[in-house]
């Protein structure tokens, strides 16, 4: 029954084609027997000619040989390339007239981790390669200090950096704070969204800061809620490939002002955050 049904459809199709062909017979030139297929230098279909009796039916792709393959995927919209989660090396850089990293003896184990949870994206171009994104996330930063130094507060409430206690050997000393971050990024992404590059400015709201030390197996809070700048502005950079990226941040405004340090007595200076790390999408 199925064979009879399909045979009937084929016969009807051939009959219809013959009727249409007879109607336009005067407008078409007879062609030689044999189908023809033409391809470009890259092996893509350029022209295909099919013969039905003495009539030729031709299809062309109207594409140049230098065009990209039609099977490549094009993203529907510009997409944010900031990582869903990242981890990096963090430091505090002295700013102002004091231009020396010796102002704070920081450990290489200082770190920051964070997440960018929400983003709103927009296109600049019709091919979706250029666009912008507004993001929202949070982070936790831990700056660890060398030797017996710690971030302290004097009787006037001013922050300074000095030896915690000559009679106590510290296991570790660190400054910890949380941040809510809102970066506005402008970027480029490849047609298939595998490679991306973006840069922009980031507004940072800092909260939950503590200066702490650890000795004899116990942790102690030295300064609870140190006087840090609640709002800060950073420059942010991100280069990604697929779900992996390299991210860097440089503080434009100070995190805090120090009265002096053990290495720079009598010199006031500011400290701005710096971070470089790697991130991953989810």
The answer, yes or no, to whether residue 33 has pLDDT greater than 60, is no
User: pLDDT of 66-76, one tens digit each?
Assistant: 444 444 444 56
Contact between residue 273 and residue 92 where contact means Cβ atoms under 8 Å apart = yes
> Of the residues 45, 71, 97, which one is the last residue of a structural domain?
71
Residue among 275, 276, 280, 274 at smallest CA distance from 245: 280
| Together in a domain, 45 and 121 | no
User: pLDDT of 137-180, one tens digit each?
Assistant: 999 999 999 888 999 988 888 888 888 988 889 999 999 999 99
Banded model confidence at residue 60, pLDDT cuts 50, 70, 90 = low
Mean pLDDT of the chain: 79
CA distance 139 to 273: 13
Contact between residue 226 and residue 271 where contact means Cβ atoms under 8 Å apart = no
What local confidence, expressed as pLDDT, does residue 42 receive? Answer: 62
CA distance 103 to 89: 19
User: pLDDT of 67-102, one tens digit each?
Assistant: 444 444 445 688 888 999 999 999 998 886 555 556
CB neighbourhood size of 70 (10 A): 9
Strands (E) in 102-243, as ranges, are 111-123, 130-145, 149-153, 159-163, 172-189, 195-215, 218-224, 231-241
The answer, yes or no, to whether residue 130 has pLDDT greater than 50, is yes
According to DSSP, residue 45 is labeled E
CA distance 76 to 271: 43
Q: Left (φ > 0), alpha (ψ -120 to 50) or beta: where does 36 sit?
A: beta
The answer, yes or no, to whether residue 114 has pLDDT greater than 90, is yes
Q: Lowest mean pLDDT of 6-10, 166-170, 239-243, 266-270, name the range.
A: 6-10
**Looking at the domain assignment, is residue 127 inside a domain?**
yes
User: pLDDT of 264-273, one tens digit each?
Assistant: 766 788 899 9
Q: Lowest mean pLDDT of 9-13, 105-109, 145-149, name the range.
A: 9-13
**Looking at the domain assignment, is residue 91 inside a domain?**
yes
Domain with 109 in it? 85-280
| Together in a domain, 173 and 66 | no
Q: Residue 89 half-sphere exposure, CB side, CA atoms within 13 Å?
A: 7
Give the tokens for residue 49: 């000619």
- pTM for this predicted structure: 0.69
What local confidence, expressed as pLDDT, does residue 77 receive? Answer: 82
85-95 vs 45-52, strand pairing mode: unpaired
Contact between residue 254 and residue 274 where contact means Cβ atoms under 8 Å apart = no
| Together in a domain, 67 and 99 | no
| Together in a domain, 184 and 160 | yes
Banded model confidence at residue 112, pLDDT cuts 50, 70, 90 = very high
**Looking at the domain assignment, is residue 7 inside a domain?**
no
Count of domains observed in the chain: 2
| Together in a domain, 166 and 221 | yes
Q: Left (φ > 0), alpha (ψ -120 to 50) or beta: where does 96 sit?
A: left
> Of the residues 9, 36, 71, which one is the last residue of a structural domain?
71
């Amino acid at each position: 029954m199925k064979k009879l049904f399909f045979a009937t459809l084929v016969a009807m199709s051939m009959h219809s084609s013959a009727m249409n062909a007879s109607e336009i017979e005067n407008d078409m030139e007879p062609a030689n027997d044999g189908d023809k297929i033409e391809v470009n230098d890259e092996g893509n279909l350029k022209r295909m000619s099919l013969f039905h009796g003495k009539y030729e039916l031709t299809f062309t792709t109207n594409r140049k040989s230098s065009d990209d393959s039609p099977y490549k995927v094009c993203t529907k919209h510009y997409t944010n390339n900031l990582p869903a989660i990242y981890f990096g090396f963090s430091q505090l850089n002295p700013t102002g007239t004091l231009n020396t990293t010796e102002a704070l003896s920081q450990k290489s184990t200082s770190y920051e981790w964070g997440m960018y949870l929400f983003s709103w994206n927009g296109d600049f171009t019709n091919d979706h390669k250029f666009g912008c994104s507004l993001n929202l996330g949070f982070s936790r930063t831990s700056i660890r200090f060398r030797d017996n130094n710690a971030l302290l507060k004097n009787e006037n409430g001013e922050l300074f950096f000095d030896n915690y206690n000559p009679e106590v050997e510290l296991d570790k000393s660190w400054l910890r704070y949380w941040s809510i971050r809102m970066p506005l990024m402008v970027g480029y992404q490849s047609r298939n969204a595998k490679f991306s590059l973006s840069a922009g400015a980031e507004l940072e709201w800092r909260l939950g800061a503590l200066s702490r030390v650890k000795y004899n197996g116990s942790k102690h809070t030295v300064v609870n809620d140190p006087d840090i700048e609640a709002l800060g502005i950073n420059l942010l950079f991100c280069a990604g490939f697929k779900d992996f990226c390299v991210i860097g941040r440089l503080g434009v405004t100070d995190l805090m002002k120090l009265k002096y340090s053990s290495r720079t007595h009598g010199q006031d200076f500011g400290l701005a955050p710096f971070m470089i790390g790697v991130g991953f999408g989810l």
